[in-house]
A and B are shown apart, each in its own frame.
Chain A
Amino acid sequence: MKTKIKFIASGILLVTIMAVLGCTTQNNGSGALSSNVAERAYVAPGEHDEFYAFVSGGFSGQLSVYGLPSGRLFRVIPVFSVDAEKAYGFNEETKPMLETTFGFIPWDDSHHPDISQTNGEIDGRWVFINANNTPRIARISLETFETEEIIEIPNSAGNHSSSFVTENTEYVVAGTRFSVPVPQQDISIDEYKSNFKGAISFIGIDQESGRMNLDFQILMPGFNYDLAHPGRGKSHGWMFFSTYNTEEANTLLEVNASQNDKDFIAAINWKKAEEYIQQGRFREMETAYAHNVYDESTHMATSTIKRTVKVLDPAELPGLVYFLPTPKSPHGCDVDPTGEYIIGSGKLSAALTAHSFTKMLDAIENERFDGEAYGVPILNYDDVVAGVVEQAGLGPLHTEFDTEGNGYTTFFISSEVVKWKVGTWEVVDRKPTYYSVGHLMIPGGNSRKPFGKYLLAMNKITKDRYLPTGPELTQSAQLYDISGEKMELILDFPTVGEPHYAAGAPADLIAPRSKKFYELDDNNHPYSIKNESEARVERDGNVVHIYMSTIRSHFAPDNIEGIKVGDRVYFHVTNLEQDFDVPHGISMIGANTSELLIMPGQTETFVWEPKKVGVWPFYCTDFCSALHQEMQGYVRVSPRNSDIELSWSLDGE
């Protein structure tokens, strides 16, 4: 009994000392504020966040826009999946955005957003993102926060090592995860080896318009190309890709692609590729891919099929590609802000490998090769490795950097973020994530100039972290303050879909250029009207075009008669407002599509095929004004053989 009391007493004493110590610590230094994590993530009502975070939606196919440090969700930008809320893929204007050579595809898996750069620093013009499943790259305007362009990638499958931009946004690269027959053909899967190729695409970017053009492809050996990052500074002009399945297995990869002790990081000299293109040492290959462009002036997208691509064969073009042996199925392939170190995260390894760009160039110059693979020289591991972060954790995936010479790496299996020093390769801190972290993001962390204040870790699994919602649980993002020596978890927030990867930028790089509305005078939509007096209804056989306008708080026209069962009725609706944040919506009873959500100055169109005789209402679906509930109208639908004349009116006129 006495021992027990002693034990309790010393327990209390200990807790007291700790409490007092804790208290003291809090009151010293920078005061209570610095230790209050809630306050550091708190952005008061009406205040703005310091950073934008563009977080991919993974299997949602979209791109979410959050504020940091608050974790508040501002917008979900529809990219590769239809979005009924915004009529994306439902209205006539955006349907072409989702056209491919496989036809209209309403969904994809969006993975790696990357913000455009100038001189190696993020510039906030555009964000690019890849579709994994049906290979495509999208470009999103950071003025309108709309998807402006989608280009399909031919000869590719599982477009995963994408969409990473070079230092001046010369190119966005898209690398295939799955090697496939190039061109596609009807052959046995067993003929994988030597018949399957891995296409790496370089998409040129017009610096004015941002328009994408598939400039060339490099047909690589049939490995899996997993991730990529551009060289920067001294290594500008190179692009690095991690590979796995150098075994070239085509079945049970979880075993068969883990046989080799080392796979490769492929170093591609794209400046050399440009030389070869200029010298005409490419093959013009017939293929087909869709190129979809949304025109802000017509508020409409068009889809065109392109037919050729220039391909380069690295076996025939010396100096184009080198392989850097890297342990154990490297996943992440990250380049530090100086451009000297290329970090390979062998996902089945416990260590990280840092290759030296300088050593790589030296080995190439002295032709110290350790054989070749399909004509591509393999460098000696010992000749290129600069250091190894030993025993850092289990299952390393991705690395980003701060400005102080630290790297931060995620470990999926051990669910943690590990901070280590670039150059000495020593681990300086580690913090758990909840749970099974994939990518991490430091704003600007993949550029010459990271903003090393916050780190966002994106988790695949949350288990008990939130209130349960049945079998399907939200995935999450976790925010760490990395301004001090030790990382501190300050916020944990749920995400849309799978928060696969993210790109971040200071708010002041983007917010001042954000568009407020579209100029009505610049609206060149073929069915737009510029004022109510132009509102009308026109019939052409069984096709009816309604030229409609909206302004607080009515439609013009709002009474329409003479529509018949079997007609195909186009509602072309122009929002005449020229005022920030005043969209109008519209939907029609029985329309087999989504609402429209029309921004000021914009025209959108939906199709309605009336099936039933009667008088049917439509209404404004966006709570626009005090008289929003009054914003409605009627369409009279008569039988097919009716001779009711087409007429339309507003308030009897």
Chain B
Amino acid sequence: MNTKKIQILSVVFFLALCSCTRAEKENTSELTLPDNTPKGQASVVDNESDKNILQVAIGSSDHSTLVAAVQAAEIEHVLVNAGPLTVFAPVNQAFADLPEGTVSNLLKPENKQQLANILTLHAAPGSYNKEALIKSAERGRKLYMATGDYLEIRVTGEDVYVGGAKVIATVPTSNGIINVVDRVILPPGS
């Protein structure tokens, strides 16, 4: 028995270990780790709590375009977040009133970010029902939107307009307020 033999044995040992490791690796790779990406707050099953903004919107047949847009922009999780959030929710007709092709264009995957920006302009941090909007207008406050823009609140008689869109109805939700509006709010200056 000499040093060379020891070396050979060592190599054998090393190879044995390697093959062992490889075998383990192969087996480990068969393990499918759960894909967490689709799992978020929007997928929480909860039929007992008061409905959140997304759940209310999904339940409204007048907002199917908005819901489709939210899904295309993949911002559902924002609408189920703890908030509080005020969403100005344009009815289907409001989207239909946009120049022809606008909506279908925005729904294209490559325009996802642009769509998300437009939708985010419809959300304000905080809880503002119609009364709170009137109060803000009376005190000369502008409405700070989630995009960082400030929108003007205008009161005409009993009507309230935010960014030019008229509030048709206010719906309280578990994580904020939905103000149904008659038109899509476009970025200031556009």
Interface set of A (CB-CB < 8 Å, partner B): 2, 5-6, 8-9, 12-13, 15-16, 19-20, 22-23, 26-27, 31-33, 39, 44-47, 516-517, 551-553, 577-580, 582, 600, 624-627, 651
Contact = CB atoms under 8 A, between A and B. Distances in A.
B127 interface: yes
Given A552-B175, A580-B49, A624 B36 contact: no
B36 A625 contact: no
Given A12-B13, A19-B17, A582 B82 contact: yes
A99 to B, nearest CB: 34
Given A46-B34, A625-B84, A26 B9 contact: no
Contacts of A625: 82-84
A5 B34 CA distance: 51
B6 A8 contact: yes
A447 to B, nearest CB: 30
A46 B174 contact: no
B135 interface: yes
B48 interface: yes
Interface stretch (B23-31, B90-98, B105-113, B157-165): B23-31
A348 B85 CA distance: 66
Contacts of A16: 9, 12-13, 16
Contacts of A39: 31
B125 A627 contact: yes
Contacts of B48: 516-517, 580
Contacts of B34: 44-47
A521 to B, nearest CB: 12
Nearest to B127: A552
Contact of B50 (A5, A8, A47, A579): A579
Contact of B135 (A19, A27, A45, A651): A651
Interface in B6-41: 6, 9-10, 12-13, 16-17, 19-20, 23-24, 27-28, 31, 33-34, 36, 39
B175 A5 contact: no
A627 B13 contact: no
Contacts of A580: 44, 46, 48-49
Nearest to A31: B27
B156 interface: no
Given A16-B12, A553-B126, 14 more contacts: A12-B10, A19-B17, A23-B20, A26-B20, A32-B28, A517-B49, A551-B127, A552-B83, A552-B175, A579-B49, A579-B174, A580-B46, A626-B82, A627-B84
B1 A578 contact: no
Nearest to B43: A46
B2 interface: yes
Interface string B61-87: 000000000000000000001111100
24 contacts: A2-B1, A5-B6, A9-B1, A9-B5, A12-B9, A15-B13, A19-B16, A19-B17, A23-B20, A31-B27, A46-B39, A516-B46, A517-B49, A552-B84, A553-B126, A577-B174, A578-B49, A578-B174, A579-B49, A579-B52, A580-B44, A624-B82, A625-B84, A626-B125
A205 B174 CA distance: 38
A651 B141 CA distance: 13
Interface in B129-173: 135
A622 B28 CA distance: 41
Contacts of B83: 552, 625-626
Contacts of A5: 1-3, 6
7 A-B pairs with the lowest CB-CB distances in the bound complex, closest first: A23-B20, A579-B174, A552-B84, A32-B27, A16-B13, A578-B50, A625-B82
A383 B49 CA distance: 61
Contacts of B85: 626
Q: Give the bracket for the number of chain B residues in contact with chain A.
A: 35 or more
Contacts of B1: 2, 5-6, 9
B131 to A, nearest CB: 10
Contacts of A15: 13
Contacts of B9: 9, 12-13, 16
A638 to B, nearest CB: 28
Contact of A26 (B6, B13, B23, B31): B23
A384 B31 CA distance: 53
Nearest to A15: B13
Given A19-B17, A31-B27, A45 B6 contact: no
Nearest to B51: A579
Contacts of A626: 81-85, 125
B20 A20 contact: yes
Contacts of A553: 84, 126-127
Given A516-B49, A517-B48, A626-B84, A23 B36 contact: no
Contacts of A651: 135
A19 B9 CA distance: 13
B17 A627 contact: no
Name the residue in B13, B19, B23, B34 with the highest tally of chain A Cβ atoms < 10 Å from its Cβ: B13
Contacts of B27: 27, 31-33
Contact of A22 (B2, B20, B174): B20
A315 B27 CA distance: 68
Nearest to B135: A651
A606 to B, nearest CB: 24
A580 B24 CA distance: 43
A46 B33 CA distance: 11
Contact of B16 (A23, A517, A579): A23
A532 to B, nearest CB: 11
Contacts of A6: 1
A27 B16 CA distance: 14
B75 to A, nearest CB: 15
A63 to B, nearest CB: 25
Contacts of A46: 34, 36, 39
A31 B82 CA distance: 44
Nearest to B6: A9
A6 B5 CA distance: 10
A377 B16 CA distance: 69
Contact of A45 (B31, B36, B49): B36
A23 B84 contact: no
Contacts of A13: 9
